[in-house]
Amino acid sequence: MNTTTISLNDFYTFMLIGAALGVVYLFLLWQTTSTLARAKKKNLVLFISAALRIFLLIFVALVFSGQNLSHFLIIMCGFLLTRIVLLKILKPTLKKKITSSEILYADNKKTKQVMLKQQKKKRR
């Protein structure tokens, strides 16, 4: 039976790499959502962004892990832990009020109706 041991230094290094990937991933997601309002082909932008983020995540994790499964899993744990922590920290600031100008410039009638309902719920 072949077992590999990972030193504590290696563990922290791979967790840090995963954490950095998590920050980069969420930053790129934030960039995508901020440019989405100006995009003409929103579905295409979302698809390309998601594909690039996933490719970047897997490619960088595989490069740094040296194709070692245990190292790859530690990197993914660091990535997931960072995402969980950052979303817990940022979630209260992400709950914003919908402005009337956002409702006026919404893409379609259904979106406007949903936004109006959300605005009414927040007033209560």
SS (H, E, C) 88-115: HHHHHHHCCCCCHHHHHCCCCHHHHHHH
- At 21, list the tokens: 């990937």
What is the pLDDT averaged over residues 77-94? 85
Residue 56 is predicted with a pLDDT of: 94
Count of structural domains within the chain: 1
In a domain, 64, yes or no: yes
**Per-residue pLDDT tens over the stretch 5-38:** 788 888 999 999 999 999 999 999 988 888 887 8
Range of the domain at 38: 8-95
Instruction: Tell me: pLDDT of 1 over 50.
Output: no
Confidence of residue 98 (pLDDT cuts 50, 70, 90): low
**Nearest one of 8, 1, 4 to 67, comparing CA atoms:** 4
Residue 52 inside a domain? The answer is yes
- Please report the pLDDT score of residue 102 as a whole number: 53
The mean predicted confidence, pLDDT, of the chain is: 81
